Structure 1
Amino acid sequence: MKKLTIELPVLLPDIPDSDDPCVPRLIGALESRNGISYAHVKSDEDGDTILCIHYNPNVVTLQRIKEIAQTTGAKLHDTFGHLMIEVSGIRQSRHARSITQRLNKLPGVVDAYASATGRIRIEFNRDSTFDDALLGKLYEMGFRSKSVKKTPSSKEKEHEETAEVHDHDHKHEHGGIFGEKTELIFSLISGGLLGVGFGLSFVDGFPEWASLAIYIGAYFFGGFYLVQESFTEVKEGNFEIDFLMVVAAIGAAILGEWAEGALLLFLFSLGHSLEHYAMGRARDAIKGLADLAPKTALRKTDGDTEEVPVEKLDIGDVIVIKPNSKIPADGVIINGESSVNQAPITGESVPADKMEFADMDTIEQKPDSIEDKHRVFAGTINGNGSLEVKVTKLSKDSTLSRLITLVNEAETQKSPTQQFTDKFEKYFVPSVLVLVVVLHFAFLIVDEPFADSFYRAMAVLVAASPCALAISTPSAVLSGVARAARGGVLIKGGRPLENLGGLKALAFDKTGTLTEGKPRVTDVIPFDDSDEKELLSTAVAIESLSDHPLAVAVVRDGKDKLNGTELPEAEDLESVTGKGVKAILHSAQVFIGNLKLFEEAEGTKIPNELKDQVKKLEEEGKTTMVVRYNERYLGIIGLMDTPREDAKKVIQQLRTIGLSHLIMLTGDNQRVADAVAKTIGIDDPKGNLLPEDKVEAIKELRNSEGEVAMVGDGVNDAPAMANSTVGIAMGAAGSDVALETADVALMADKLSVLPFAIGLSRKTKTIIKQNLWISLGMVVILIPATILGLSIGPAVMAHEGSTLVVVFNALRLLGYKS
């Protein structure tokens, strides 16, 4: 069995990310071909997303595999298109659900979803329809498209565009003489007229026609927008809750119960307005992300600076960041030092110290490999120092821009609970309509006038309308995603938000997740008549000639310990693969390496006492370097990828909140895994694992525990993340790969935010359950109550009251604190 790897963007240009629906379509199409056993997506060591194809060379040739992959990818890319559209006019979740249904009925649409926040996601078949035709349909529906993000076919010249289109007003905007507040003001006018009419009805001699006229005025203002929306839905064959309320109000008028009908319209329109306001709070929390970055930047050219729009900045431009100002672009500091408040992106409360980076070649070729202390992100806030920054990403590709895009896309993902409530309503609403029709004919069985049966039916219609149920889950999910983003956590929609709170087990990658990801000198042990200074200065002099990661660690930490001591110069470095190095220092031969090096090297063999110390350090999971100067053994240097400072505390916090099964997965040897696990408190370390072994470990954990999350860096852990219930990536700020591969991305390179994310998810699940109990409970109470004689007035007050309760209950998530 052989394997071929191809960069995914080569096969599917401009797909949003590896979670795009076209990726499983591509894999399915490939695996159906004779000779291909299976295919999967992973990330290579440079962080690029690649497609890995396993095939039988006895059945199909490598060249044929390449042709099949490229042909299949091109066909899929030219067949399936994607639109992410922001529109004005979707005011609440019931309306959004109706739009979703209408879009999914359009020819060529594979899948569509409209959120109450105004985001619409459409996946379509290019053989049946095209971008502009779908935008035209939205135009016909009466929506103003604020922006459109397209994923064009390979035949189109522009790879991606964001355009202002169809900029027109429509009735769904609910604007008017009072602007966005028109509906609220109309509702209050309706309530005022209702109050006047009701009060004057007790005045002797006041004409009945005048009181009726006032009630009609209340009907007009209370039902103005309600009738418009109902008419639009009925034209499409949808009988939504708005229509049911209009029917109930007309029924009340037919019975001469104008006051109760006006009360229904007043309270329903008021509820609409307040619901819109409350949902707007959650929307604004997300839209506020877009205001984090400044609109202009100071670009440095030939020694002078000019103010330019951030969209005009190119990669390689140098920008000047003044003290206490917002940073306009992602980049690397090339001059100056300062502390930077990264809370808007990472949620970190303490400003991070930043300093300049001098290697221009690395900035140009591998900017993502540069340490965070040299990098800054758009939307963060500079401290007291002045900085010069070399731009490494265009404004549309910045970490902040990616975060905003992914949060907006998260709004268009349904949670499991929302899928359940949608399915429930699908059967519940028709059942209510059947019940209402039956109650109309109650006068045939019960000794009462038809008017009484009709009134009871209208009251049941009001009581049974599941308004609160429709808004209960979307409002909580939207608030939860918004709060998470503000806390430095990207959660890609309702499903991972809910799943995160139901986890029973967590699996951690070791390197870079539980540990710092780079070796550090932990032990300096002189031998015989040597001392620490001689041992370190000799090792640093030799290792400074090498670029091996262990050598870099010895030089870095050794210089810190020597504190400015002048170092000798070594020469003639020679590497002994897998064993160590040797070089010349002061005309003497110096050997630095593991035990195998000294077993084979000529000269004095390593003393047993020193050998025992080496084995003891290795049992603790440390890498050892023995240093020999001519025939003298100077001692041992021990190195280890040390655990993060907050790792032990976070593990304790996770156990406290009920996650008892915590495992560690690593490619390091079992001894190292055991040592790290013992230090931080994980009782199930698994070492010597290849990437495919990690996947199998996750599958076993899912079989035994049910729901499990994989926490890693989002690069080489992508396959294991894909097989877990929730994939969680750390240090996602500045890493497109981590942002794309994970279900949940911790923007800061810190574990400490993980308990916050899990706690927020659990709180969200709790609020969703509360909202379901409130909404369904109210329906269960009101239906029999109205059947037994409860009038429309109290029914509509209880109905609208429950709707507002669930919305404001969900808004509590915006203030969540762990």
Structure 2
Amino acid sequence: MGDHSHSHSSTEIHNHGGIFGPKTELIFSILAGIFLIFTFLLESFEFISEPLAIGLYIVSYFFGGYYAAIEAWVKTIKGEFEIDFLMIVAAIGAAYIGSWAEGALLLFLFSLGHALENHALNKAKKSIEALGNLSPTTAFIKDNGELKEIPIEELKIGDVIVVKPNAKIAADGVIIEGYSSINQAPITGESIPVEKSAITYLDNLPPFEKIEKNHVVYTGTINGDNVIEVKVLKLSSDSTISRLIDMVSKVETNKSPTQRVTKKFEKWYVPVVIIMVIVLCFAFLVIDETFNESLYRAICALVAASPCALAISTPSAVLSGVARAANKGVLIKGGKALEDLGTLKTIAFDKTGTLTEGRPKLTNTIVFNGLPKEEFLQMVYAVESMSNHPLARAISRDLRNQNGINTSLKAENIQAVHGMGIKAVFKNQLVYIGNEKLLDSLQLNLTEEIQETLGSLRKEGHTAMLVARENELLGLVSVMDVPRKTVPNTLKRLKSLGISKMIMLTGDHQNVGSAIAKEIGLTEARGNLLPEDKVEAIEELKKRDSKIAMVGDGVNDAPAMASSTVGIAMGAAGSDVALETADVALMSDKIERLPFVIGLSRASKRIITQNLWISLGVVALLVPATIIGMANIGIAVVFHEGSTIVVVLNALRLLAYNDKTI
């Protein structure tokens, strides 16, 4: 049950065969137990002779020791003495002194613990491999107006595939025809299907990660009730899902800090145990007992001192934690990220797109001179809907959803006034929308009251634009990148999980940052930061709080995420940069997933700690007890192997983790 690398050599032996297929090891272990109990009972009631009993115990030995012996042999040839070696020696010693039943019990429980460990690791791996089975194997492609089914490996970038209702989507790409609600749970973990529609501009497509998410589909997600046509933008080997599988399978190579310490500990611990056992064998030279009694004590101590539970305590918890996260659409790259997340108390957030929606919304419409509001809004809509400026698009989009707007009324002769705003003709009158400079150019003066309104809106982070007709000031509209609705509640939950400092890092003005931070419940905001300033801020916070996580949307925050202890990317589906640089990637852009990840890491950390206490505690109690003769080999075996089984089952609890358990 040795270390993890060792566990792997064994997993190779187990998974590829054996006469009962992948479950052979577990079945062998159960057979060892059946022969042991059967023989022990027959022997106790004196139904069988001693030679026959020994013969049956040997059968139990065979089934219980088969895999451990293979592994011990493989390792010993390389000159590595590991736990399997100690167990085989103990079992042979037990047979030598006639304690056949105890030796068989040792091998039965050892093999059972080992089989359970591999079952745990396989279960975790299976939930990761399940990701791989999500991808369909074929796709329907349009060929001269006819549908043709081809293997997904043959798809080329630029092909158009047709996805039937309720079918799996076969490639990462963009919808060019149709609309549908797509179930993205397999990748992002979101339980509610997401509405997706065809993209309108196909000629100059931006790079994949820059395309608006409501036009993009991913391999392995499931189409709703409508037929859609998708233009393939990534080959199956580069698709989001194959990147995911690739990364999750590499997770095991990122050893966690506890695993590294445990590994070092085992390196000197196993030789120490072997020396102790050899010394105990010669106790009969010093104290009054026979060689067999000394040997018996040495074997008991050997069983008690084997650090099986210790070796498996961390890897089993890390794998279960990572597998659970993958089920929920969160990629955690290895034990280091999992453990670090479990201990930190400070998180830094990027503002735009992480804490906020990432797109401006219309926040205020104020009319100054008694003009009916409907008329004012209609005029603003007619002008702004003609402009391509992002803020104008946001205003017209939000106005369209308000009552009483006639979307067919449009302004004419629209012109951008550089650095000031726009002007256009609506109902034969000139309308201006822009900043104060635009009004100065019209020789319109702002009253103190209006200046105050503008000032307070800007302090709160709004971008305000004044609206004038001919030479009369009519009112103002303001837009703002508003905080996500779920953010305040998410931050509260993080606080309850023990995250005491939450800091916003933003390129926006300090006033804007502070206003938003106050509104959503952050502890601190730092504004006016360029990407390189964010890196400096992270370094400085790391000095102050020793560990810090950085949450961003992965593209422009990559440098800051790379220099933090744990980089967390949101909305990582489809973004290669985010998947590469982040230690933790939330596949959906839902910030409310964050407490789940932090909670899971905290639970994993707790379980790793519990496992270490259980495994080291049992060794610390059993070794002295066996040396002074208080515990015989049967007790040593039961406690020692029992602790291993408890540790594995404890780690498996993580596979059922949700925000409310553990």
Query: What range is the shorter-chain TM-score in?
Result: over 0.9
Residue 486 of structure 2: which of 646, 654, 666 is its match?
646
How has the CA–CA distance of structure 1 residues 519 and 189 changed in structure 2, closer, same or farther, with 3 Å as cutoff?
closer
1:717 aligns with 2:595: no
Q: Which structure 2 residues correspond to residues 355-504 of structure 1 after superposition, within 5 A?
A: 355-363=197-205, 365-504=206-345
How has the CA–CA distance of structure 1 residues 203 and 608 changed in structure 2, closer, same or farther, with 3 Å as cutoff?
closer
Question: Equivalents in 1 of 2:263, 2:362: separation in Å?
Answer: 58
* Superposed displacement of residue 716, structure 1: 1.2
Question: Equivalents in 2 of 1:756, 1:204: separation in Å?
Answer: 58
Q: How much identity, in percent, do the aligned residues show?
A: 56
| Larger mean Cα displacement after TM superposition, 540-549 or 653-662 | 540-549
- Structure 2 SS opposite 1:350: coil
1:180 aligns with 2:22: yes
The superposition leaves residues 606-660 of structure 1 with CA deviations (integer Å, 9 ceiling, x where unpaired) of 4444333322322222101112222121210111111111011111211222222
The superposition leaves residues 501-554 of structure 1 with CA deviations (integer Å, 9 ceiling, x where unpaired) of 111111111111111111111111122143333433333343344332212212
Read off the aligned partner of 1:470 and give its amino acid letter: A
Match of 1:54 in 2: none
How has the CA–CA distance of structure 1 residues 215 and 366 changed in structure 2, closer, same or farther, with 3 Å as cutoff?
closer
How has the CA–CA distance of structure 1 residues 702 and 223 changed in structure 2, closer, same or farther, with 3 Å as cutoff?
same
Q: Which structure 2 residues correspond to residues 222-237 of structure 1 after superposition, within 5 A?
A: 222-237=64-79
Contact kept in structure 2, 1:421 and 1:469, CA below 8 Å: yes
| Larger mean Cα displacement after TM superposition, 444-453 or 181-190 | 181-190
Read off the aligned partner of 1:97 and give its amino acid letter: S
- Structure 1 SS opposite 2:253: coil
Match of 1:526 in 2: 367
Contact kept in structure 2, 1:174 and 1:183, CA below 8 Å: no
Contact kept in structure 2, 1:332 and 1:389, CA below 8 Å: yes
* Superposed displacement of residue 282, structure 1: 1.5
Read off the aligned partner of 2:436 and give its amino acid letter: L
How has the CA–CA distance of structure 1 residues 598 and 203 changed in structure 2, closer, same or farther, with 3 Å as cutoff?
closer
* Superposed displacement of residue 780, structure 1: 0.9
Contact kept in structure 2, 1:491 and 1:743, CA below 8 Å: yes
Q: Which structure 2 residues correspond to residues 115-514 of structure 1 after superposition, within 5 A?
A: 175-202=17-44, 206-363=48-205, 365-514=206-355
Match of 2:658 in 1: 817
Question: Equivalents in 2 of 1:710, 1:525: separation in Å?
Answer: 38
Contact kept in structure 2, 1:93 and 1:116, CA below 8 Å: no
Match of 1:666 in 2: 506
* Superposed displacement of residue 193, structure 1: 3.0
1:97 aligns with 2:5: yes
| Larger mean Cα displacement after TM superposition, 391-400 or 449-458 | 391-400
Question: Equivalents in 1 of 2:425, 2:304: separation in Å?
Answer: 90
Residue 400 of structure 2: which of 544, 559, 570 is its match?
559
Question: Equivalents in 1 of 2:111, 2:16: separation in Å?
Answer: 12
1:778 aligns with 2:635: no
- Structure 2 SS opposite 1:360: coil
Residue 542 of structure 1: which of 383, 392, 400 is its match?
383
Question: Equivalents in 2 of 1:217, 1:660: separation in Å?
Answer: 59
Read off the aligned partner of 2:614 and give its amino acid letter: I
Contact kept in structure 2, 1:183 and 1:273, CA below 8 Å: yes
* Superposed displacement of residue 351, structure 1: 1.6
Which stretches in structure 1 are left out of the alignment for 5+ residues? 1-91, 100-114, 119-142, 144-170
* Superposed displacement of residue 273, structure 1: 2.1
Question: Equivalents in 1 of 2:503, 2:241: separation in Å?
Answer: 32
Question: Equivalents in 2 of 1:773, 1:392: separation in Å?
Answer: 51
Question: Equivalents in 2 of 1:370, 1:533: separation in Å?
Answer: 35
The superposition leaves residues 9-29 of structure 1 with CA deviations (integer Å, 9 ceiling, x where unpaired) of xxxxxxxxxxxxxxxxxxxxx
Q: Which structure 2 residues correspond to residues 574-723 of structure 1 after superposition, within 5 A?
A: 574-577=416-419, 579-585=420-426, 588-599=429-440, 601-723=441-563
- Structure 1 SS opposite 2:573: coil
* Superposed displacement of residue 596, structure 1: 2.5
How has the CA–CA distance of structure 1 residues 706 and 400 changed in structure 2, closer, same or farther, with 3 Å as cutoff?
same
* Superposed displacement of residue 584, structure 1: 4.4
Contact kept in structure 2, 1:93 and 1:471, CA below 8 Å: yes
Question: Equivalents in 2 of 1:742, 1:615: separation in Å?
Answer: 39
Read off the aligned partner of 1:366 and give its amino acid letter: P
How has the CA–CA distance of structure 1 residues 634 and 439 changed in structure 2, closer, same or farther, with 3 Å as cutoff?
same
Root-mean-square deviation (CA, aligned residues, Å) is 2.1
Question: Equivalents in 2 of 1:560, 1:258: separation in Å?
Answer: 82
Contact kept in structure 2, 1:295 and 1:328, CA below 8 Å: yes
TM-score w.r.t. length of structure 1: 0.77
- Structure 1 SS opposite 2:489: helix
Match of 2:585 in 1: 745
Contact kept in structure 2, 1:573 and 1:584, CA below 8 Å: no
TM-score w.r.t. length of structure 2: 0.94
* Superposed displacement of residue 232, structure 1: 1.2
| Larger mean Cα displacement after TM superposition, 189-198 or 237-246 | 189-198
Contact kept in structure 2, 1:574 and 1:581, CA below 8 Å: yes
Contact kept in structure 1, 2:422 and 2:433, CA below 8 Å: yes
- Structure 2 SS opposite 1:414: coil
Q: Which structure 2 residues correspond to residues 16-55 of structure 1 after superposition, within 5 A?
A: none
Question: Equivalents in 2 of 1:504, 1:807: separation in Å?
Answer: 28
* Superposed displacement of residue 203, structure 1: 5.7
Question: Equivalents in 1 of 2:210, 2:573: separation in Å?
Answer: 13
- How many matched pairs? 657
* Superposed displacement of residue 583, structure 1: 4.0
Question: Equivalents in 2 of 1:574, 1:395: separation in Å?
Answer: 45
* Superposed displacement of residue 98, structure 1: 4.4
How has the CA–CA distance of structure 1 residues 517 and 196 changed in structure 2, closer, same or farther, with 3 Å as cutoff?
closer
Contact kept in structure 1, 2:303 and 2:636, CA below 8 Å: yes
- Structure 2 SS opposite 1:571: strand
Read off the aligned partner of 2:410 and give its amino acid letter: P
* Superposed displacement of residue 174, structure 1: 6.4
Contact kept in structure 2, 1:117 and 1:283, CA below 8 Å: no
The superposition leaves residues 268-297 of structure 1 with CA deviations (integer Å, 9 ceiling, x where unpaired) of 223322322232211211111111222222
Residue 734 of structure 1: which of 574, 578, 586 is its match?
574
How has the CA–CA distance of structure 1 residues 679 and 200 changed in structure 2, closer, same or farther, with 3 Å as cutoff?
closer
Question: Equivalents in 2 of 1:719, 1:366: separation in Å?
Answer: 20
1:760 aligns with 2:600: yes
- Structure 2 SS opposite 1:201: helix
Match of 1:86 in 2: none
Which stretches in structure 2 are left out of the alignment for 5+ residues? none
Question: Equivalents in 2 of 1:336, 1:684: separation in Å?
Answer: 45
Question: Equivalents in 2 of 1:339, 1:237: separation in Å?
Answer: 59
| Larger mean Cα displacement after TM superposition, 373-382 or 736-745 | 373-382
Q: Structure 1 or 2: larger helix share? A: 2
Match of 1:129 in 2: none
| Larger mean Cα displacement after TM superposition, 398-407 or 298-307 | 298-307
Read off the aligned partner of 2:36 and give its amino acid letter: L
How has the CA–CA distance of structure 1 residues 677 and 194 changed in structure 2, closer, same or farther, with 3 Å as cutoff?
closer
- Structure 2 SS opposite 1:381: coil
- Structure 2 SS opposite 1:528: coil
